[in-house]
Chains A and B, each alone.
Chain A
């Protein structure tokens, strides 16, 4: 993970034992740095807790024991890891292309809205068609929402950092409009949409827990995007654009098209996460369906050094932290927002440990 550029299949005639050893060393290095980064972040979180009258050690030990105690709680962690892995994997692709998509949160909402509109519309459809339809609707909507920022970047050189953030606010406000207006369930006292039709629900894979097929889709997509980035021609083009746009043009790679590809992949993954949230967890659309998964996804991707396989693990780790923080809030009255502090600290420690290195080659601007 630490140095993906080195992770190539070696020629067959090199020493196989030496190869295996160096592979192990590389993997060990790749794991050690993120683990150290997370530990530093947790220690900082613990210090923060202790400074403010909580017992940091107790809080964390209760949290770890609490969230990993039984199948149900582990299933809840996996459930939470679905959007984190999906968004993290998508952002790995965007960041490799030097596209700073900070708008996964808004793209998640776009996906959730589309999934809701589709999910309440077609009565009597078989789940075999309906479930994939909801997923596709979410992914397309997320990709389209991100695509706006992509087009503005390609055609007007508008910084995607600012536009994606503005699109976040617009998506949130739009969702608020929809659930208080056109999509509102008239029968409900709260501003929320009608319940999605049963056939559109994501099938659960570990009853009685809420864990659904999204986890399998997320892991499969992580592997698929790993292959895409590091083993395919198209992924190579995305990476070259991200490192050196001039070299990409020289190589005959269409820079604008690859920017669109990368940003739409990241948006599509966020949109899919949104579809999973409404069709797999909440079953209705309401104003605050995401507790900030879109922003957390940034930390997931960076901790994984923008490697989609790594994002499976970093996504899982952040899911544990999130579940733990919920538990902390209930058992120890520790405000749950502590998780944002820890995320910020994780990014800074990752940076400090040099896992994430600045690529000095030009951005496409």
Chain B
């Protein structure tokens, strides 16, 4: 057992934690925007799948990583537009539409993958770790913090941007008001629907990016259901983080740790645990996390409630 807790193991685990947290960070921060504006999007899983597939397919066709990521964001936003149309314009139940988006995302990506890619078996070239002179080769810290690709580092940028936009701009102020007291926004002449559309599309765009990380920054292949529940875990992350972007970052990191431990411990033959027990870890911890947040006083008051003008 003692070889488990070596420094090398810890460094690798920390490194893997951040990598594995990356898709959750994107999706959860995106969902913070959406839920702060009062829209609960349980279709995140489907959106992430679409992002993962579109990113992969674009990369496959054009070989450009920025283009792949951009198209994944765009695809996520387009799915978000569909979700927003049904939930905001038609005012349908957000949960029902979210469930439909999940089915569509799962079905469409699997259908297109099987139609076009299943025989090829080829992967794409994924984002490579950046070599930061002087830092990447540091013992321990190099492995843990300075040997990641640009997408992983960009999570920091996204957190900072999210904080600035939500708390320091007029847009963010209005967006937060929309989730608490939409009428107050309406009477100052701002469109509640427009803000909700915007919030949903920011959310799904980021979720698309999170999905694309899986195919363009982590594994080099698309696999059916590659997200395996990350969209749903992101929903729990948002609750646990109390609708704060910085909180979402750290809670997502915690879940990244569960994923990392799962992989790292599976690689330890000395441990006599069935691998399924480790596989189940992130899912069990999601439930534990939800149970631990007892007081949900911070929930946006109008979460899930369509807005009708007077």
CA of A177 to CA of B277, assembled, Å = 8
Contacts of B284 in A (CB 8 A): 166, 170
Q: Does B197 contact A (CB under 8 A)?
A: no
Contacts of B96 in A (CB 8 A): 302, 347, 351, 356
* 1/0 contact string of A162-193 vs chain B (CB within 8 Å): 11011101100110110011000000000000
Q: Does B229 contact A (CB under 8 A)?
A: yes
Contact of A344 among B101, B116, B232, B235 (CB under 8 A): B101
Contacts of B111 in A (CB 8 A): 48, 52, 335, 337-338, 340-341
Q: Does A29 contact B (CB under 8 A)?
A: no
Contact A358/B91 with A158-B290, A161-B235, A299-B103 known, Cβ cut-off 8 Å:
yes
Q: Does A23 contact B (CB under 8 A)?
A: no
Contacts of A257 in B (CB 8 A): none
CA of A360 to CA of B110, assembled, Å = 35
Contact A338/B287 with A173-B276, A302-B96 known, Cβ cut-off 8 Å:
no
CA of A338 to CA of B114, assembled, Å = 10
Q: Number of B residues contacting the other chain (C-beta, 8 Å)?
A: 48
Q: Which residue of A lies closest to B292 (CB)?
A: A156
Contact A340/B104 with A166-B284, A174-B280 known, Cβ cut-off 8 Å:
yes
Which residues of B in the span 74-125 have a Cβ within 8 Å of any Cβ on A?
86, 90-93, 95-97, 99-104, 106-108, 110-112, 114-116
The answer to whether A165 touches B279 (Cβ under 8 A) is no
Q: Does B236 contact A (CB under 8 A)?
A: yes
Would you give the shortest CB distance from A158 to chain B, in whole angstroms?
A: 4
The answer to whether B100 touches A348 (Cβ under 8 A) is yes
The answer to whether A162 touches B110 (Cβ under 8 A) is no
Q: Does A225 contact B (CB under 8 A)?
A: no
Would you give the shortest CB distance from B31 to chain A, in whole angstroms?
A: 12
Contacts of B115 in A (CB 8 A): 52-53, 335
CA of A33 to CA of B95, assembled, Å = 21
Which residues of A in the span 328-362 have a Cβ within 8 Å of any Cβ on B?
335, 337-345, 347-348, 351-352, 356, 358, 360
The answer to whether B92 touches A358 (Cβ under 8 A) is yes
27 contacts between A and B (CB under 8 A): A48-B111, A52-B115, A158-B287, A159-B290, A161-B95, A161-B232, A162-B235, A162-B239, A165-B229, A166-B233, A166-B284, A170-B284, A173-B279, A177-B274, A181-B274, A335-B110, A344-B100, A344-B101, A344-B107, A347-B103, A348-B100, A351-B90, A351-B92, A351-B93, A351-B100, A358-B91, A358-B93
**A166-B283, A169-B228, A341-B108 provided; 9 other pairs, C-beta below 8 A?**
A167-B287, A170-B284, A173-B280, A295-B99, A337-B110, A341-B107, A344-B104, A348-B100, A351-B93
